[in-house]
Amino acid sequence: MSIPKFIVITGHYGSGKTNVSVNIALDLAKKGENVTVVDLDIVNPYFRTADFEQLFKNNNVELFKPVYANSNLDIPALDFDLMSLRDTKGKVVIDVGGDDEGAKALGRFQKVLSGNSTVLYVVNKYRYLTSAPEEALTLMREIEYASGLKCTGIINNSNLGDETDAKCVENSLRYADTLSKLSGLPIAATCCKEEYADRVPMPFTVKVFVKKPWEE
């Protein structure tokens, strides 16, 4: 299946969407794609793709980030336009701020993204406010309304941080399947560690790059 030029990653705060974005970008680069990552998270200054600038450089991934990213200023400002990336070669991975507030920034680029993007909704069964499929669906609809873009697939990123094992992921499969049926969207991927990828459907093996400050 052909992957659209723009790959938009959105979801609830703490769903792990930034870590998913980093893994997708590195995976595409490893496969020989020209990749640009856009940090569109102008809401949360703590966990964002801009924090991985050196990692991206080491893997030939270009980074577009807000002007005040990685500074002491928490100002929701953008100094770039996705229009400039429309005709570039390769794929563009966009890490969007959490919930509908973060998705408002995405709405600014609706015309650029319409018809040339996939919008993937990252869910984590173990996160507050999305522990039930119905809650996750409500939040997804709010994000769609705020951005003006429809989600096209679901990424099941249900985990408990360092405590995650195969059982944690397996226990989330029914949750993800129910959300898929409620929303009418396919499960695009199930994030997991490589050692148990054969035990889950649509596995996407990920490494944990985004860590809490006290874990670094």
Measured from the Cβ of residue 13, the count of other Cβ atoms closer than 10 Å reads: 18
In-domain check, residue 59: yes
Cβ burial 153-180 (10 Å sphere, 16+ → b, else e): bbbbbbbeeeebeeebbeebbebbeebb
Residue 177 lies in a domain: yes
How many domains in the chain?
A: 1
Q: Is the pLDDT of residue 150 over 70?
A: yes
Q: Give domain status of residue 1, yes or no.
A: no
CATH number at residue 41: 3.40.50.300
- Cβ neighbours of residue 200 closer than 8 Å, sequence gap 6 or more: 166, 169, 170, 173, 190, 192
Q: State if pTM tops 0.75.
A: yes
pLDDT of residue 4: 92
Q: What is the DSSP letter of 3?
A: P
pLDDT at 75 > cutoff 90:
no
- Specify the range with the lowest mean pLDDT, choosing from 76-90, 139-153, 183-197, 202-216: 76-90
Find the domain containing 96 and state its range.
6-215
Which residues pair with residue 9 across a beta bridge? 95, 120
